[in-house]
Amino acid sequence: MQVAIKTTCAECGTPLWGANLNKRGDLYYCSADFERLSPEEKEVNAKKVRQYADYRKMFDGSGVIELVTNGTFDSDTDWTKGTGWTISSGTATSDGTQSADSVLSQAIATKTQGANYRYVFTVSGYSAGNVKVRQSATHYGTSRSANGTYTETLMQLFPYSTIAISADSNFVGSIDNFSVRRI
């Protein structure tokens, strides 16, 4: 991990902040003075700028990586469907035939303990029961029992490598646009 620095441009004195942005030797330069660098130096510095921008996005929420694959349910792939769940026509639907809680899940890279994750999903065609985010084997989000788009942020209590939505034994409805992002 690079350390962010505060300095000024060696050419024009413009304040700079970043992780070794536009560095040449021991001196730093602003974008306006970047043109003075050789093509090789420009490529090295451009790579550092891209890495730094990606690093910042991880923490400011503007470009956080989507953890869900096929969250729009465009195809019947990538998901493990518990009893009563089907995927077709761009939604995942629970038909109420489950006799206990039933989970629609997907394996992912392990979520980090102590990190916050934003869950977003849409409920449509609701007619009975409750559905909620399953954060881990024993931790859940808020139960939802109406049509709408729901957003909630949950702290990951311990490492877990699954994302899921859980329907109770009575839930009849559809889920779409399921998204999970670390924030």
Surface-to-core class of residue 179, CB atoms within 10 Å of its CB (0-12 exposed, 13-18 middle, 19+ buried): middle
Q: Are 115 and 155 in contact (CB under 8 A)?
A: yes
Confidence of residue 96 (pLDDT cuts 50, 70, 90): very high
Surface-to-core class of residue 77, CB atoms within 10 Å of its CB (0-12 exposed, 13-18 middle, 19+ buried): exposed
Q: Write down the pLDDT at residue 10.
A: 65
The larger pLDDT score, comparing residue 118 to residue 58, is at 118
CATH of 80-182, one of 3.20.20.70, 2.60.120.200, 1.10.490.10, 3.10.20.30: 2.60.120.200
The larger pLDDT score, comparing residue 64 to residue 83, is at 83
Please report, for the chain, the start and end positions of each structural domain, with discontinuous segments joined by +: 5-60, 80-182
Mean pLDDT of 144-171: 92
pLDDT in tens, 98-115: 999 999 999 988 788 888
